[in-house]
Chain A
């Protein structure tokens, strides 16, 4: 007995003398029942990395000409999307695609509009940072000078030290910190969430409830592509690692070219080279959708009302101009886009429901806001 006690004491003392510290686990501040997003093993979440990433996200020095930061095309009041049809890079080059809202991106199985192999934010951020076609932040060729600027900044010295103690500042650390910040952008406090997950029956109006019933109905079939807790089937979390490939052709175009979508953007086909993937794009998550107009991969639908009209018609019939064609007849169109009839009241109910997905706390959360004061 006495021997056992001494043994125990030695163990406890050894533990107390240990140099190792268990890292504090990151506080996601999610609802207790919500699963935590999958995080790559080589970039675990810490509050310090998120804070460093936030500074980088809003820092125009990350672009070679200091004219743009990530926040230029991902603006908090627009749920980290922007009100342009397609984005414009730091040299004025126009992107072919619409800026995606950064809402619950942590749960996306794949990133960007149409890529089935881009599965981590760490890998995706390299595109706007280093991409040359088009140039977005334009870091390529200017790596040394940009790093030098950041390293010279006392604030960054402190932030890097806290996030990555004893590590040399590099673009790997920068991209990892940016990924951690984007991963921290979670939004689950809309009135819809209060109804669905807090069981608050009063959180939605009658019109919104009717709209919700329409959204989840087989008549409209929205939930086939925009279903699940994140309103997109492109979702993965720690309890559901099973993989999916939710890219859909919604009948936006049916042009008379080599392919039925305009050659400037063939969607997933460009990555997979599978002809069935022409015009297939990922269904984005719908929280805060009211704030992220214009819509679709090329921003070609301006308002939510027009989005509902588009799905109601079962596709888009373009009657004149460069992209003339009847998207409703696109042979690759998803079998879930069949069109449906809505009377004006039902249409308004549906729109009201979609607007109930807005999470004001996310749009104004200081933790996601610009940390630099105007002095910089």
Chain B
């Protein structure tokens, strides 16, 4: 009897929310050019980890699971692009049985502490990508934005700082002083919406150049502008719903 009932349920499809990379209102991709002080910059790599996703619909919170793919496990996804190599710009979740209408999407930009400081060689993808990993002590880069001009390169790498461990090759046993994870909350989301990831709030704050990079040290002038813009200890200004 029960078997028959289950067999008759319509299969709901997974929840898919495309992410549009933009510079203000214009699409931005590996071919795009960002001109600052007559220097032309292009993207070479922009990747980021998202974790702990959930939605709130009509006051009810529903935890979400990423669909298992080579670049994502249930609770952690590595999205973005390595220009010329790989490109993942879809948020893809297992169905939760109801459609998204006027929902609030929540997730963390970053890797949870208990996963962040493990040996990447023993981890499943996407936690085994060595260029998204700093050290056991500091963990992963939560966000890696690398731009290139004909003259120079510029990088913004977001990750935990102030992690106590006996050496770079030992994991911290207590949370880092500055975890630098970003909690993101996006309102008014429905099933057919796209999300926008706008890097204008990041690029407009700094003069791009090799002396103005940010590796998440709060003391660096560039980080003092970039960290709040991305959402560390503040409201993120880079994620929103597409109009």
Contacts and interface: CB of A to CB of B under 8 A. Distances in A.
Contact of B85 (A237, A244, A335): A244
Nearest to B128: A240
Interface in A218-257: 218, 223, 227-229, 233, 235, 237, 239-240, 242-246
Nearest to B126: A242
Interface residues of A, number: 34
A243 B169 contact: no
B151 A201 contact: no
Given A34-B121, A227-B130, A213 B168 contact: yes
Nearest to B166: A201
A336 to B, nearest CB: 8
Contacts of A217: 168
A240 B125 contact: yes
B232 interface: no
B169 A195 contact: yes
B131 interface: yes
B129 A240 contact: yes
B167 A335 contact: no
A149 interface: no
A240 B84 contact: no
Contact of B121 (A33, A209, A216, A244): A33
A190 to B, nearest CB: 13
Contacts of A228: 120, 130-131, 133
Contacts of B128: 239-240
Contacts of B9: none
A242 B169 CA distance: 23
Given A213-B168, A245-B84, A239 B125 contact: yes
B7 to A, nearest CB: 29
Interface class of chain B by DSSP: loop
B135 interface: yes
B167 A243 contact: no
B166 A216 contact: no
B130 A335 contact: no
B155 A244 contact: no
Contacts of B122: 33
Interface in B71-91: 82, 84-86
Interface in A18-63: 33-35
Interface in B124-153: 124-125, 128-131, 133-135, 137, 148, 150-153
A62 B154 CA distance: 48
23 contacts: A33-B121, A33-B122, A195-B167, A201-B166, A212-B167, A212-B169, A213-B168, A215-B168, A216-B135, A218-B217, A227-B130, A229-B120, A229-B121, A229-B130, A239-B124, A239-B128, A242-B85, A244-B131, A276-B148, A276-B150, A331-B150, A334-B153, A335-B213
Interface of B: 82, 84-86, 119-125, 128-131, 133-135, 137, 148, 150-155, 166-169, 210, 213, 215, 217
